Structure 1
Amino acid sequence: MKKQFNIEIGGRIRKCREALGYSRETLAEKADLASSFLGTIELGSGSFTAESLVKLCHALGVSADYILFGKEEHGDLSTVNAMLSGLDPEYLPYVEEMLRSYIKAITAVKK
């Protein structure tokens, strides 16, 4: 059971990393972890501390609930959140404007 749990956690971390387009080395640097240690976590062959979990959550822009239990916020917002957290802050106003326009358009179509 413990091994399967670790494999699932590692898979979710890898999924988020890949959604952001990060290499293992890039995520390790952003989370202040060794790349080899991150590799063992992603493969499910190692465990980690609460401190490492917090670092990974911040670097990936996802909640600990998602990493540990796979609980996503309303659909797959964790992936969207991860993509946005990896974006250069100077582009966020443009993304926000585009998202508002898109939401307005799809809401109008539903009416």
Structure 2
Amino acid sequence: MAFDSAVNGEIGQRLRALREEKSLSREKLAEAADISVQFLADIETGRKGMTVQTLRKLVLALHCTADDIVFGRPAAPDGKTSALPPVFQNLTPTQAGMASDIMELVLKLVPPSQTTED
């Protein structure tokens, strides 16, 4: 299998951004994913690629999707990324229905914003 440093670099940048978004140190993420800190650093800097098994470990540790790491988060029609946490992308249909019901109840209790959106 050929080594593609450009692809590995892009994936590494996305992985690092997700880790930092969750305020995790390399040490904490490496421990949660059961990989070495050096290997995580090598992935983040694009020096190494990873197996599907390692990708799965990172997805579970970061509570995101594999697509978030490999391709990046999809942009909304307005060009912005979703404000919802990645954990919502991994819900089963039953869980998604319950989460939707809960959010509807919460939104009924929250007063409308007094500010206007840009």
Bigger radius of gyration, 1 or 2?
A: 2
Higher helix fraction: Structure 1 or Structure 2?
A: 1
- Contiguous gaps of at least 5 residues in structure 2: 88-101
Contact between 2:65 and 2:86, CA under 8 Å: does it hold in 1? no
1:70 is paired with a residue of what secondary structure? Answer: coil
When residues 67 and 103 of structure 1 are mapped into structure 2, their CA distance, relative to the original with a 3 A threshold, is farther
Contact between 1:9 and 1:69, CA under 8 Å: does it hold in 2? yes
- What is the number of equivalent residue pairs in this alignment? 95
The one-letter code sitting in structure 1 at the alignment partner of 2:9 is: I
CA distance in 2, matches of 1:45, 1:102: 49
- Out of 81, 86, 89, the residue aligned to residue 76 of structure 1 is 81
Contact between 1:9 and 1:42, CA under 8 Å: does it hold in 2? yes
- Contiguous gaps of at least 5 residues in structure 1: 83-95
The one-letter code sitting in structure 2 at the alignment partner of 1:70 is: G
Measure how far apart 1:2 and its partner are: 1.8
- The residue aligned with 1:59 is 61
> Mapping of 1:1-111 within 5 angstroms?
2-72=4-74, 74=76, 75-77=80-82, 80-81=85-86, 100-101=106-107, 105=111
Measure how far apart 1:76 and its partner are: 2.8
The one-letter code sitting in structure 1 at the alignment partner of 2:85 is: V
**Bigger RCO (CA 8 Å, 6+ sep):** 1
The one-letter code sitting in structure 1 at the alignment partner of 2:14 is: R
CA distance in 2, matches of 1:103, 1:57: 33
Measure how far apart 1:101 and its partner are: 3.7
CA distance in 1, matches of 2:62, 2:33: 9
When residues 29 and 21 of structure 1 are mapped into structure 2, their CA distance, relative to the original with a 3 A threshold, is same
CA distance in 2, matches of 1:102, 1:24: 40
When residues 44 and 81 of structure 1 are mapped into structure 2, their CA distance, relative to the original with a 3 A threshold, is same
Contact between 1:62 and 1:78, CA under 8 Å: does it hold in 2? no
Q: What TM-score results when the alignment is normalised by the length of structure 1?
A: 0.69
Identity %: 34
